[in-house]
Amino acid sequence: MSQPAFCLAAALGYGDVEFTLVDPTTVALLQAQLAFNARETIITYTQALGKTLGGKDVTSNVFEYPITVCRGCLIRFDTDLSREPVPNCYASAVMSPGELAPCFYGQDVPVDCHFCLDDPFCVCGLQLCPGGGVVNDGGIE
């Protein structure tokens, strides 16, 4: 899949650019296929194409980037075993006081479920949440 990206290099010849490595269709497919706590590794191939300020075409090498995706595996549940469903985030306190929430939930490091309680997935995973419907979207981590 080819997506345009724009980067105007600074005077030193360097600039920032952002690439989408996993397109929304693939994300939706993985969300539908992965069971709770399931993991799968996908490989993305990215190549930058561009033009110099002088109008010359330039092409980077192909960058192969493995990505491990999972469903709910980066949520550290603080389970109250006396309440259903299990796992859950019904225990009352942050597990590691002083811990900071990550910049981007679901990226690289586990997150304490207390930091994302506005998302029902963080409260009770893929189970039927009491007083609510079936939660079926925890995102790709």
DSSP 13: S
H or E stretch covering 41: strand 39-46
Mean pLDDT of 82-97: 75
- The yes-or-no verdict on residue 123 having pLDDT over 50 is yes
Are residues 110 and 129 both part of a single domain?
yes
Range of the domain at 94: 72-141
Tens of pLDDT, residue by residue over 23-80, are 999 989 998 888 878 889 999 999 988 887 788 999 999 999 999 888 888 888 888 8
**Tell me, what's the pLDDT at 2?**
55
Domain count, the chain: 2
Assign 138 a pLDDT band (cuts: 50, 70, 90). very low
Are residues 60 and 7 both part of a single domain?
yes
Are residues 37 and 61 both part of a single domain?
yes
Mean pLDDT of 73-102: 77
pTM score, two decimals?
A: 0.63
Are residues 139 and 81 both part of a single domain?
yes
Query: What is the 3 state secondary structure string of 108-124?
Result: CCCEEHHHHCCCHHHHH
Amino acid at 40: E
Are residues 51 and 78 both part of a single domain?
no
Among 71, 99, 133, identify where a domain stops: 71
50: three-class secondary structure by DSSP: strand
Tens of pLDDT, residue by residue over 3-24, are 555 555 555 566 677 788 999 9
**Tell me, what's the pLDDT at 61?**
96
Are residues 84 and 139 both part of a single domain?
yes
